[in-house]
Copies of this chain bind each other. A is one copy, B any other.
Amino acid sequence: MDSMYDDGYLPPILTVDSVIFQIVDGDLQVLLIQRAKEPFKDKWALPGGYNAIGETTQEAMDRVLSDKAGVKTSSLQLVEQLYTFDTIARDPRGHAVSITYMGLGRNVIPEETQKTQKPGFFSVKNLPELAYDHASIIKYAHDRLISKLSYTNAIFALIPELFTLSQLQTAYEAVLGRPLDKRNFRKKFLSLELIHPTDEYIREGAHRPARLHKFNSQKLETLSRSFD
C-alpha cells in the first residue's frame, strides 16, 4: 500500500466526467458512449472514469476521453472545469466524487478502437436515456455554455477559424436554441470587437459570396460586466 495512506486516511473514489459539445448542421451535439459494463450496462453515458493517483484531473480526463470515446483533448478548442458533483448514492459501488469538464470542439470525429465504447454525438434536443445523473450534468453544462456566450468569445471553439457571420449566428442559435435577428446580432457582435474581417470570401451556392471573419484570439477572452 502506498505510504500516503499510512495514517489510515481513505479518500472517496474520484472520477472525472466530460461533456463534449460540438455543432453539426446547426445542431448542438454532445458526445456519449454506451457503457460496456454494469452499472448501467448498455445505457448511454458521458465519457468518464477513475482518476488515479499521480494524475491531475485534467490528465485523467484526457486519458479517459481518449480511451473510452476515442477523442483526443488536443482536438478540442476549449476545455474548462464545470463543477464537482458528489453524492453518496451517485455510484452504486459507494461514495464517489466526480469532477466534470466541458469541452468544445469543431468537427470532432471519435476514433473507435477496441477500448472505445460506441462513442457518438447526440443532439442535446434529443438525448437517449442516460446513466447516473448525466442528464442533469449535461443540462448544467449547457446552461453554463449559454451563459458564457453572453460574456466571452467562447463561441470561437465551436466554429471554424475562418467563418461567415451567418455561421457565427447559426452557432449562437444552436446553443441558445432560439433564432436571433440578423441585423441586431451583427451590430452587437461586431461592436464587441472580438473578430475582424479577412479579405477572403467564400462562394458556396447560387448566391452572393460571404466574407470570412476571424477571431482576434483563439483563446477564451472574457468581456467585462459591471453592476454600476
Contact check, A97 vs B53: say whether CB atoms are below 8 A apart: no
- In whole angstroms, how far apart are the Cα atoms of A50 and B95 in the complex? 15
A50 contact set on B, CB distance < 8 A:
9, 11
B-contact 0/1 string along A64-93, CB 8 Å cutoff: 000000000000000001011011100001
User: A182 CB to closest chain B CB, in angstroms?
Assistant: 11
A4 contact set on B, CB distance < 8 A:
13, 93-94
- A-side binding surface: helix, strand, loop or mixed? mixed
Contact check, A95 vs B228: say whether CB atoms are below 8 A apart: no
Q: Does A199 contact B (CB under 8 A)?
A: no
User: A143 CB to closest chain B CB, in angstroms?
Assistant: 10
Contact check, A84 vs B81: say whether CB atoms are below 8 A apart: yes
Contact check, A228 vs B94: say whether CB atoms are below 8 A apart: no
Contact check, A55 vs B149: say whether CB atoms are below 8 A apart: no
**Size category of the binding interface on chain A:** 35 or more
Q: Does A37 contact B (CB under 8 A)?
A: no
A99 contact set on B, CB distance < 8 A:
84, 97
Q: Does A14 contact B (CB under 8 A)?
A: yes
User: A102 CB to closest chain B CB, in angstroms?
Assistant: 13
B-contact 0/1 string along A205-225, CB 8 Å cutoff: 000000000000000000001
B-contact 0/1 string along A27-61, CB 8 Å cutoff: 00000000000000000000000111111111000
Contact check, B88 vs A12: say whether CB atoms are below 8 A apart: no
Interface residues of A (CB under 8 A from B): 1-2, 4-5, 9-14, 50-58, 81, 83-84, 86-88, 93-95, 97, 99, 147, 149-150, 172, 176, 180-181, 184-185, 188, 225-228
CB-defined A-B contacts under 8 Å, sample of 9: A4-B93, A9-B13, A11-B13, A11-B50, A54-B88, A150-B225, A150-B227, A176-B227, A184-B228
